[in-house]
Every structure is written in structure tokens, then in C-alpha cells.
Amino acid sequence: MSKKISDTIRNRIEDAGDRYWASDNISHHIIDGEQELLIDEITEGFSSVLESLLIDTTNDPNSQDTPRRLAKMYINEIMVGRYTAKPAVTAFPNDDPSTRYGGMIVTRAEITSMCSHHHQPVRGVAYIGILPSVRVIGLSKYARIAQHCARRGTLQEELTKMIADEIQEATQSPDLAVYIQAEHGCMTNRGVQACSSLTQTTELRGQFFNPSVKDEFFNDVKMQQQFAKSVTM
């Protein structure tokens, strides 16, 4: 019996003493070409699951090739943040007294994640606030970092901290905030089925514990929310 590619990768991870939790990025343990092999293996796994659910994937036209679609969706879309390297981030100097920007930057990133408990979708918005240090990053990079962190199995609390950690590493700024508001499928699609449920989490660091800085950040968040609502109506 041939060894499964997941076993090969798992052994590689364990030999390195690393974790492979749902929220962990394991891309550095995956060799080129192994993602496609994982998709092949996962397709077989989903075939077994659907078979146990008594779904006829051979004759039901709506279910034909569903196992492979599920496998590709997990690896290439909803959990792609586990299997691909984090985005390259170019930093620009911000230490020239004549040009240095010393104000606050607040950006908004739409995110889609997945609850690691029930594998239900988590959809929402992350607001990132930062007081730049001696370097800044491109505005789009905040969203790319947030989306890369989100595309895996997480809890919203740990996702909020994860985004803050990655932004802090990229910018070297001790002063930042991350605020996420999201709707969880595990609350709307199952369980309590609270269709209007919204979860909010906040991570504050450095000067963002200062009441005036904190107030400025959340006032900017409110303005961005009003702008986003006006352009989507």
C-alpha cells in the first residue's frame, strides 16, 4: 500500500517539531506539486464521506465530481492560508523628519474565514489601525495580510491576534489595533440559528490603549462603515 501524501507531509512537520493546527500555516513543509497530490487524496476522502451520507455521486447529476470540487475548495480557497506562503510585503522608509508621516492609518479588509469547530463560513470585515514607526507598507498589503490569515480554520479571537502579529512583524510598529466584526455560519446555519448575530473582537497594542488614540481609531471605523454602507446600497 502506497504511503499517502498527507502522511509524508505530516511526518515532515512532526520531525521539525512544528504544529499543524487548523490555524497554522504549513506551506514551508509542502514541496512543489504536493498540493495537487493532496487534492487527489482529499477527493478520495470526500468520496467516502458522501458515500457514508448515502449520496449517489455516480448517478446524481448535481453530485457528480462534488468530492473533487470540495477538495479543491479547501486547498485552493477557504483554507488556502494554510497551504501558501504569506504575501511578500515591501516596506518603505518613514524616518526622514521632513517627510515622515506621524498620523494614524486605518484600513478596511473584507475577510472570509472558517470556524475550526464546525467548518462553517465566517464572513466579515477587519479594520486595522496603526501609528507608523520607521517604515510603512503599501495600503493593499494590510488587506492581503488579513485575508491570508483568515483563509484557514480559526476562531475569531485568535484571528484578530494573528492579524495584529503579522502586521506588527511587517511594520515594526508597537502601536496598532485590529477590530473585526463578522457573521458566523455556526450560529446562523445551525445551533441557535441566530440570523442577525454579529461577533466583534478587538486587539489593542501600544498607544491604542490611550483613550484619545482609541477614540480616534473607532471614530474612523464608524466613518468607514458609513462609507461602505453608502457605496453598497
Number of domains the chain contains: 2
Between 192 and 84, the more confident residue is 84
Q: Is the same domain home to 162 and 64?
A: no
Task: Please state whether the predicted TM-score (pTM) of the whole model is above 0.85.
Answer: yes
* The last residue of a domain, from among 83, 113, 135: 83
**Separation between Cα atoms, residue 171 and residue 95, nearest integer Å:** 13
The CATH number linked to 11 is: 1.10.286.10
Kindly report, residue by residue over 35-79, the tens digit of the pLDDT. 999 999 999 999 999 999 999 999 999 999 999 999 999 999 999
How many Å separate Cα 128 from the centre of its chain?
14
3-state secondary structure of 127: strand
What confidence score (pLDDT) does residue 232 get? 62
Same domain for 56 and 101, yes or no, is: no
Q: Do residues 135 and 91 touch, judged by C-beta distance below 8 A?
A: yes
Burial of 103 (0-12, 13-18, 19+ CB in 10 A): exposed
Check pLDDT > 80 for residue 196: no
pLDDT band at 1 (very low <50, low <70, confident <90, very high): low
* pLDDT tier at 197, thresholds 50, 70, 90: confident
**How far apart are the C-alpha atoms of 162 and 157, rounded to whole Å?**
9
Domain boundary residue, one of 83, 107, 138: 83
Q: Examine the pLDDT at 161 and tell me if it is beyond 90.
A: yes
Task: Give residue 73's domain range.
Answer: 5-83
Domain match, 11 and 112 both: no
Q: Last residue of a domain, which of 83, 101, 118? A: 83
203 and 108 share one domain = yes
Q: Are residues 48 and 127 in the same domain?
A: no
Residue type, 47: S
In Å, how far are 16, 21, 40, 152, 217 from 148, measured between CA atoms? 23, 16, 24, 8, 23
Task: Identify the pLDDT of residue 211.
Answer: 98
